[in-house]
Amino acid sequence: MKAKNFAERVLKVNHAGEHGAVNIYAAQILVARWTAPTIVPTLQAFKAHEESHRTIFWDELQRRGTSRCRSYWLCGLGGFALGSITALFGLQAIAATTAAVERVVLGHLKHQIHLLECQDDAAVAAIAKIVADEEQHLEQSVMHLAPGQFWPKVLTPVVAASTQTVIWLGIRL
């Protein structure tokens, strides 16, 4: 079933994005056991949050009788690839990837809340439930970044642009 309105499209894309995030962390956990073992417990906590977020959006989609986004599996596959590749380069690359994704996601979530206020209270409530966790992920990731490092300089613009593109495409599919 197609999304009936903007709120449903947003919820579908957010659900797919959370699936992508779960897979980023799953891949990073797998690879970081060898490249950056000290961050694995943090990544496991982040993954648990993202699984919870995915459930929040799925429950709201089911309540509305709406199917998941067409980009759901693509987000999962892309997330796993991104997580695997970046984790190969260690802690700085993992932290830079998470920070870049979370900055973009937080901007979109806050914009979505603003656009949907007074239009769809249930969608706003679902989105608002996850903002604090996403802010925490960003803050903790930034704490791991060391000034002047190579990977953050390279990965931040690439990952941010890729995340923006995936969200833009997801809304339009």
CATH number at residue 136: 1.20.1260.10
User: In this structure, is residue 100 part of a structural domain?
Assistant: yes
User: In this structure, is residue 95 part of a structural domain?
Assistant: yes
Residue 8: other Cβ atoms inside 10 A: 21
Over residues 87-108, the pLDDT tens digits come to: 999 999 999 999 999 999 999 9
User: In this structure, is residue 13 part of a structural domain?
Assistant: yes
User: In this structure, is residue 156 part of a structural domain?
Assistant: yes
Over residues 29-47, the pLDDT tens digits come to: 999 999 999 999 999 999 9
User: In this structure, is residue 118 part of a structural domain?
Assistant: yes
Residue indicated by tokens 């962390």: 25
Looking at the 3D structure of the chain, how many domains does it have? 1
Total-model pTM: 0.94
Q: Cα–Cα distance between 47 and 145 in angstroms, integer?
A: 20
Q: Cα–Cα distance between 151 and 160 in angstroms, integer?
A: 13
Q: Letter for the amino acid at 92?
A: Q
Print the domain residue range for 117.
Answer: 6-172
User: In this structure, is residue 1 part of a structural domain?
Assistant: no
